[in-house]
Amino acid sequence: MKIAVIGIGYVGLVTSGCFAESGFNVVSMDINEEKINMLKDGQVPFYEPGLSEIVKRNYINGRLEFTTDCKYAVENSTIIFIAVDTPSNKEGNADISQVLSVANSIGEYINDYKIIVTKSTVPVGTGNKIKEILREVLSKRGENYNFDVVSNPEFLREGSSVHDFMNPERVIVGADNIDENDNIKKIFKELYNKNNCSFVFTNIETSEIIKYACNSFLAVKVAFINEIANLSEAIGVNVKDVAKGMGLDSRIGGKYLNAGPGYGGNCLPKDTKALVHIGNEYGVDMSIIKTVIKSNNLQKNRIAKKIEMVLDGVCGKTIALLGLSFKADTDDLRESVALVIINKLINKGAFVKVFDPVAINSAKKCLIKQENLYFANDEYDAIADADAIVIATEWKQFSEIDFIAAKKQLKRSIIFDLKNLLDKTKLLNIGYEYHGIGI
- What average pLDDT score do residues 235-248 get? 97
pLDDT of 278 > 90? The answer is yes
Residue 56: the pLDDT is: 96
Residue 180: the pLDDT is: 67
Q: Are 260 and 223 in contact (CB under 8 A)?
A: no
Average pLDDT, the chain: 95
Among residues of the chain, what percentage have pLDDT more than 90? 91
**Model confidence pLDDT, tens digit, residues 162-173:** 999 999 999 999
Please provide the size of the chain in residues: 439
List, in order of start, the domains of the chain with CATH numbers: 2-202 (3.40.50.720), 205-439 (3.40.50.720)
- What average pLDDT score do residues 345-368 get? 93
pLDDT of 147 > 80? The answer is yes
**Model confidence pLDDT, tens digit, residues 32-48:** 999 999 999 999 999 99
- What average pLDDT score do residues 238-252 get? 97
Whole-angstrom distance, CA of residue 159 vs CA of residue 174: 27
**Model confidence pLDDT, tens digit, residues 105-134:** 999 999 999 999 999 999 999 999 999 999
Residue 182: the pLDDT is: 82
Residue 92: the pLDDT is: 85
Whole-angstrom distance, CA of residue 432 vs CA of residue 426: 9
Q: Residue 382: which of 348, 418, 342 has the closest Cα?
A: 342
Q: Exactly one of 18, 197, 214, 267 is catalytic; which is it?
A: 267
Instruction: Assess whether 267 carries a catalytic annotation.
Output: yes
**Model confidence pLDDT, tens digit, residues 131-146:** 999 999 999 999 999 9
pLDDT of 91 > 90? The answer is no
- What average pLDDT score do residues 20-33 get? 96
Written as one string, the DSSP assignment of 59-116 is HHTTSEEEES-HHHHHHT-SEEEE-----B-TTSSB--HHHHHHHHHHHHH--S-EEE
Mean pLDDT is lowest, of 205-209, 249-253, 328-332, 368-372, for 368-372
- For residue 323, which phi and psi values (nearest 5 degrees)? 105, 120
Enter the DSSP assignment of 411: S
